[in-house]
Chain A
């Protein structure tokens, strides 16, 4: 699914969403598959965060919308299509 990550592979991937979110329902499977693929390629810390259950993390990362995907020090907002997620991850490689 993903090309081999090189030296600049992301260290941390966080997805902020809400368990009742329609975006999450539609996109979580894709996201999980991609994260698993990514973890197989390179060590990376991944976390799915429900903003209603962990509001302190929403505060820490100044979350304004969901879903928000944070990869290292960049934030991507909106539920992307699967190929867009891959494109984002590969841009870090």
Chain B
């Protein structure tokens, strides 16, 4: 084993940006709601600002779900500590060809990051994109989106459902 010598310190340089696909050892899925519960304190303390991209439930619905858990995200939004980016369209959506681009997802999230000076991005329920856009390889598209977001030097977590 390589030994450190003298007063040289061993340390790990954290990456400037990370993409984390949440999972757990016991196979139990970690929900985005759980994640939002867990990071609430650090947001409240002002340690990080967060962008939450919603693909199935609207921000209003997510705020309501968290309110049922006695967590007040509405206040965090009012204080500009959290910004929601809503991709959960209220109107029916029909795919008429496969000639289209998911660039608006990246663009709108990037704008929210810059506007809020956010350090973390959480993508909620990305599986719903597969139903909305069946002719696209959504896993590949998401990888593309995430790699572009990395340029913003933010930590990104993506939850399929």
Chain A contacts to B: CB under 8 angstroms: 16, 18, 21, 23, 51-52, 55, 58-59, 61-70, 73-81, 84, 88
Chain A, Cβ-Cβ closest to B88: A62
Tell me the bound Cα distance from A73 to B89 in angstroms. Answer: 11
Chain A, Cβ-Cβ closest to B87: A64
Chain A CB within 8 A of B105 CB: yes
When A and B form their complex, what is the total count of cross-chain residue pairs whose Cβ atoms lie within 8 Å? 86
Chain A CB within 8 A of B94 CB: yes
Is the pair A75, B94 in contact by a Cβ cutoff of 8 Å? yes
- Give the shortest distance, in Å, between B77 (CB) and chain A (any CB): 14
3 tightest Cβ-Cβ pairs between the two chains A and B? A78-B97, A79-B99, A80-B96
Which of A23, A55, A58, A74 lies in contact with B100, CB distance below 8 A? A23
Is the pair B100, A65 in contact by a Cβ cutoff of 8 Å? yes
Report the interface size for chain B: residues with CB under 8 A from the other chain.
27
Q: Which of B12-33 contact A (CB under 8 A)?
A: none
Chain B contacts to A: CB under 8 angstroms: 85-105, 107-108, 111, 129, 132-133
List B contacts of A68 (CB < 8 A): 100
List A contacts of B107 (CB < 8 A): 51-52, 55, 58
- Give the shortest distance, in Å, between B52 (CB) and chain A (any CB): 14
Given contacts A64-B105, A66-B101, contact A88 B96 (CB under 8 A): yes
Tell me the bound Cα distance from A88 to B95 in angstroms. Answer: 12
Is the pair A65, B104 in contact by a Cβ cutoff of 8 Å? yes
**Most chain B CB atoms below 10 A, which of A55, A64, A75, A84:** A64
List A contacts of B105 (CB < 8 A): 64-65
Is the pair B94, A76 in contact by a Cβ cutoff of 8 Å? yes
Is the pair A78, B102 in contact by a Cβ cutoff of 8 Å? no
List B contacts of A66 (CB < 8 A): 100-101, 103-104
Other A-B pairs, 4, CB within 8 Å; known A63-B108, A78-B95: A23-B100, A64-B102, A74-B91, A76-B95
Tell me the bound Cα distance from A75 to B90 in angstroms. Answer: 10
Given contacts A18-B103, A64-B132, A66-B103, contact A78 B88 (CB under 8 A): no
Is the pair A70, B91 in contact by a Cβ cutoff of 8 Å? yes
